Amino acid sequence: MYVSGIGTAVPPNRYLKSDCWEAFQESDWFQRLGPRAHAVAKAVLLRDNGIEARHLALDSLEEVFQIDPDTLDRRFIEHAPALARDAGMRALEQAGLQPERIDAIVVSTCTGYLCPGLSGYVAEGLGLRADIQAFDLVGQGCAAALPNMRLASALLDAEQCSHVLSVCVEVCSAAMYLDDDPGVLISACLFGDGAGAAVLSRRPRETVRRIEWRDSESLINQTKREALMFEQRSGMLRNILTRDVPWLAADHAEAVLNKVLRRSGIERDAISAWIMHAGGRDVLAALEKKFGIDKHHLRYSAAMLRDYGNLSSAFVYFVLQAALEDDAPGGAWWLSSFGAGFSCHGALLQVD
């Protein structure tokens, strides 16, 4: 399998973390939450947390505090198909392919629900064929991009398709929830809205840099499921985020990496680019320590976190795009995502 094109999309409105703190202070929710909640939000939004701004599908920050099931559902329905379509179109343009060349589409999300699924809306928006194979994956959280791509790989390896469009889209502002729990508050301060897409092909395209998917591995630890997950409360998604997440991410990411490197006969220091999901600043610090690498190796993840916040499943498309735009050195690249489950996935890429 080869990556033929990458595309990303975010809503037009960008909000600094200081803007979010001011809007929170002026909202009714500030009075409804206690002093500890105020202190947590202030610390996350005004100190260095690795994030400077986020793009949100809102006309104003006042809207983010309209938290009820119908409002959040409408927000997802309005923005998820559009963001996914825009990312998909950019991926097709980079691959130099017309929409009718796509044989299958795989769409992942965890921040909303549609039936019929998002895949049909995205296929319609892009003008894909009526006989396209369409798959909707849900419930995989921040980790979803690599399972999405592995399904595409299976379709390509089975010679059922020549080109598959992989899309991850998250409208995290449609999964907003507030209460006095520190994990809930931190989540509300970290996540942004966006979509990423990749055209995955059975053969390489001459129009782009050659990116070959060589090997991959997954690890799901159900005993740590409650460390990071969504739960349903009052008809809305409430994010559970615990202090163990940075080290869980680092431990699982290293286990997946080591297994693939042993199988491939490649040493860790041979990795020339690290395309890592960044749950937050503390997650990146844990990865640096666990992998024995420095901040420079995770510069693309840190830059995307700074500019967009945690985009959940869409994040690694942004990181891969950033590395390609920077003309990162070729060779072995490591692509990894992790999240709810607790799950972790990794893939070894060969980039020429």
Q: What value does the mean pLDDT take over residues 80-99?
A: 97
Give the structural domain span for 74. 2-201
The size of the chain, in residues, is 352
pLDDT (0 to 100) of residue 227: 85
Kindly state whether residues 334 and 250 are assigned to the same domain. yes
Tens of pLDDT along 20-69?
Answer: 999 999 999 999 999 998 999 999 899 888 999 999 999 999 999 999 99
Single out the residue of 142, 159, 172, 244 nearest to residue 20, CA to CA.
172
Question: What's the confidence (pLDDT) of residue 253?
Answer: 96
Q: Is the model's pLDDT at 228 over the cut of 90? A: no
Within 10 angstroms of residue 64's Cβ, the number of other Cβ atoms is 21
Question: Per residue in 128-144, pLDDT tens?
Answer: 999 999 999 999 999 99
Position 209 scores a pLDDT of 86
pLDDT at 341: 87
**In-domain check, residue 233:** yes
Residue type, 279: G
How do residues 90-114 score in pLDDT, each as one tens digit? 999 999 999 999 999 999 999 999 9
Supply the CATH number for residue 31's domain: 3.40.47.10
- As for how many domains the chain has, the answer is 2
Domain termination residue (choose one: 141, 173, 201): 201
Residue 48 confidence (pLDDT): 86
Q: How many CB atoms lie within 10 A of CB 141?
A: 24
- Cβ burial 127-136 (10 Å sphere, 16+ → b, else e): ebeeebebbb
**Domain end point (choices 137, 168, 201):** 201
Query: Is the model's pLDDT at 289 over the cut of 90?
Result: yes
pLDDT at 100: 97
> Are residues 268 and 169 both part of a single domain?
no
User: Residue 241: which pLDDT band, with cuts at 50, 70 and 90?
Assistant: confident
pTM for the structure as a whole: 0.95
Average pLDDT, the chain: 94
pLDDT given at position 149: 97
How much is the average pLDDT of 218-223?
Answer: 94
Same domain assignment for residues 347 and 239: yes
Question: What is the C-alpha to C-alpha distance for residues 301 and 304, in angstroms, rounded to an integer?
Answer: 5
- Residue 206 included in any domain: no
Q: How confident is the model at residue 265 (pLDDT cuts 50, 70, 90)?
A: very high
Same domain, 240 and 172: no
Listed residue (279, 278, 269) closest to 299, CA to CA: 278
Distance of CA 187 to the CA centre of its chain: 14
Task: Categorize the per-residue pLDDT at 293 as very low, low, confident or very high, splitting at 50, 70 and 90.
Answer: very high
* Single-letter code of the amino acid located at 336: S
The verdict on 264 and 180 lying in the same domain is no
pLDDT of res. 49: 87
Residues 101 and 160 in one domain: yes
Report the pLDDT value the prediction gives residue 181, as an integer from 0 to 100: 92
Alpha-carbon distance values, 211 to 124, 320, 349 (Å): 28, 11, 7
Structure tokens at 91: 């991926």
Domain identity same for 137 and 173: yes
